[in-house]
Amino acid sequence: MNDWATPPAALAQKKDPARRALVWAGWTVLALFIALVVLLAATFAYYRLRGPTEEQKAALALMRKDWRPAQGVNAFPVLFYLHHDVPAERLEAQLAADVKRVRKEHPEMAAPVTLDKDANAPAPPSPTLTTHAPPLPELTEAEKDTLCGRSNQGCLAHVAAQTDAVRAVLAAHSISVGRAQAFERADFLWNPGDVNLRVPIMGNYFDARQLWLSAFALRYLEGDRLGALAATCRNLAAMRRMAPNSNETLGAMFVSLGVASASKLYAEMLADLPADTAVPEDCALALQPVTAADVNRCASLASEFATVDTYILRPMKQPLLKANKSQRTPLIDFPQTEAQVARFFAASCDGDAIARLLADELPRNEAASFDARNPECVANVVGCMTAGVSAKLVGDGDRQNKFTLEYAARLRLAATVPWLREHSGEGAIAELFERRPAHLRSPNHVSSFDAERGVIYVESLAKPGDKDKPGRFALPVAAAR
């Protein structure tokens, strides 16, 4: 029967179930929507009122701590004026005067970084630290090829093959050589610049290493064997002190590589000396067991966090603080954002990280595990987006950690050289190497004795084909076959 033939009362009764189902569906959707709004509001209120967690607060405090050593000798003035004619006793004062002058010439450095209206406009370049001190001759490319550091040959053999040429280069740069050798008195390497002041001295890092390596090798070959060995060990010890006490990543890497270079030269000298030669006490002091201080990179991590804080976090915060409360967005919580970003860096610096690094393990990578879908992001939408960008800028946090593990593994290998020498009468080198004590081992690194080359070596943690693979680090302990 068609609906037009159905009595009105019967038709209304027929449609009541469908209408009731539609009404119930509508109320259900509305109830779910209200519940969702209430849930989001409750989540927003909870995380806003809670603020950063205790762990995040601890991370922020760690990254804002002043890591500069309270006392000791800073190697930075020596490095900065490597090729400038400044009296040794005036290096610190000259550096302070130059920093003060450049800051005065560039008052814009004191102004806070702000977001440009044109997001694509390049940031104004930071001023560069300069000096009016008289320049000294810099190393030419030919002179750098003459010195140790550019060939695959060991430094001692390299200098032995061209002793006169090396001697002439060192004589032509006597002041710079003295500066490079003065590193043995340094305790830390602290760049006086900040994120607003560039101090580009990468070239000086490598020049200094070539100079002191070549000078010590020449000293050894000219007859002062024990004096050269002791000087090499004092330099190694100084570089080791500076490695965790540098406020820039490149500086920490430089001194870490300096430790590796000094270790190689030390091993070359030791392999050349008669087995019954007493080793200077300086070498025993330089090769003490690896400690927490050796794997601590908090100072350079704090410096990296300061850069992110200056150029990403604070520029976003300033315009919002100037706005009226009614104009401020509820989508960002700055304390939460700063603390979250700090965790990315502190994860490689806190107590757990240090313990893992000492155990030859990689610390946890907070940046890699960051997820913007975390419930905390309900109360900090823009902040989580910013933290996500910062996580990408932090990059592969394991890169620095891997470098630190390589550094510690190389230190342990260097300390194995004198241990093998002391126990040489107790068995073959290969057998002794397998019996070395725990403090000389890096459990997650492959290491062995290569009888053909007469070296002990430790392999990199990186996988084959990894562009960041440092490669094999080897130290001579016997004559090659």
pLDDT value of residue 38 = 66
User: What's the rounded mean pLDDT across residues 459-475?
Assistant: 70
pLDDT at 2: 52
Residue 231 or residue 121, greater confidence: 231
Query: Mutual orientation of helices 298-308 and 381-394 as an angle, nearest 10°?
Result: 130
The tokens of 88 are what?
A: 């040794």
- The rounded percent of the chain whose pLDDT value lies above 70 is 81
- 142-186: pLDDT as tens digits: 999 999 988 888 999 999 999 999 999 999 999 999 999 998 999
Please give the average per-residue pLDDT across 52-71, as a whole number: 90
Q: For residue 468, is pLDDT > 60?
A: no
Per the DSSP assignment, residues forming a β-bridge with 457 are: 448, 474
- Tell me what pLDDT residue 323 has: 47
Is residue 384 over pLDDT 90? no
Boundaries of every domain in the chain: 23-52+292-395, 76-288, 408-481
| pLDDT at 170 (0 to 100) | 98
| Residue 478 predicted with pLDDT over 50 | yes
Q: What's the length of the chain?
A: 481
Mean pLDDT of the chain: 84
Answer whether residue 397 shows pLDDT above 80. Answer: no
Task: Give residue 435's pLDDT band: very low, low, confident or very high (50, 70, 90).
Answer: very high
Nearest to 47 by CA among 317, 333, 328: 333
Share of the chain above pLDDT 90, in %: 53
pLDDT of 324 > 50? The answer is no
Average of pLDDT values for 199-211?
89
Asked if the model's pLDDT at residue 399 lies above 60, the reply is yes
Each residue's pLDDT tens digit, 212-228: 999 999 999 999 999 99
291 token code pair:
């400690």
Least confident of 236-250, 415-429, 451-465: 451-465
Whether the CA torsion 156, 457, 412, 410 is positive or negative: it is positive
- Express each pLDDT in 1-51 by its tens digit: 455 555 555 545 555 777 777 777 777 777 777 766 666 666 666 666 667
Euclidean distance between CA atoms 338 and 328, whole angstroms: 18
Give the pLDDT mean for 323-338. Answer: 62
